[in-house]
Amino acid sequence: MRRFSKRILQTVFTIWAVITLTFALIRQIPGGPEAYLRAQYAQTGRDPGNIGELAKQYFNTDFDKPLWQQYIDYLVNLSQGDMGTSLFLREPIGDLLLNALPWTLLVMSIAIFISYAIGIFLGAVMAYRERSTFDSVGTTLSITLNSIPYYVVALIFLYVLGYQYSLFPTRGTHSIDPGLDPMFVVNVLWYATLPAISFILTAAGGVAVRMRGNSISILGEDYLRVARLRGLSSNRISSRYVVWNSVLPMYTNLMISIGFMFGGL
């Protein structure tokens, strides 16, 4: 219970620190938020009008108030889900996040599940075939893919498969009316395919490398030699001892991936 309470306090402190840092960074914009807004409007040739009212609308803060009062208003508004208005889409940020949440959870859940399934399988095979051609090629390819940001792969796929060959849709989440029927589910999954593949290709490589390292370290353990001396089959040793004990350390990485899923909204 004490450890759980400590974790809760650490989480609350982290959230407060991020909110406070964001509040401070907004006010460190050269010339202030109002000057930033004025420059944005000048680039489009529009008259900003009352820049103070615009700043209050977009940043959800009245900059004429004392700094401490602005900070309190900022905390209160965030606690109520009011995060101001998007500068580019000119829509409430809270509404944009709520609209993106279901689609993001769907795409990232599929991508994380498939990437871990592929990565764990490939990592186990590479460990069993250590120093073979398959292991060398697989490790090199996995490290290379894992070093590429997923959004770079997404942009390449979007240009080639979306715009050049028109194999996948380039925008939106579905093209038919929503409903509880298989056609709508298939349509949604089709729209989710391109972003999911871009994440799977880059994430599965990292999972495979970590799984390979875990499996190789376990293959040298004494209890595996004892299992072989007892006459246990290779399949039983692999599934019950090696794979299971190698997957357990991946739990931390899975939790980080889930956190990344929510943080990437």
List C-alpha distances in Å: 179 to 176, 192, 227.
9, 17, 54
- Does residue 140 register a pLDDT over 90? yes
Domain-by-domain residue ranges, the chain?
Answer: 2-91, 95-263
The model's pLDDT over 30-45, given as tens digits with 9 standing for 90+, comes to: 666 667 676 766 666 6
Output the CATH code of domain 95-263: 1.10.3720.10
List C-alpha distances in Å: 237 to 115, 130, 224, 229, 245.
25, 17, 7, 11, 11
Nearby residues of 186 by Cβ (< 8 Å), 6 or more positions away: none
Q: 0.85 cut: is pTM over it?
A: no
The model's pLDDT over 215-248, given as tens digits with 9 standing for 90+, comes to: 888 777 777 777 777 776 666 666 666 777 777 7
Nearby residues of 35 by Cβ (< 8 Å), 6 or more positions away: 29
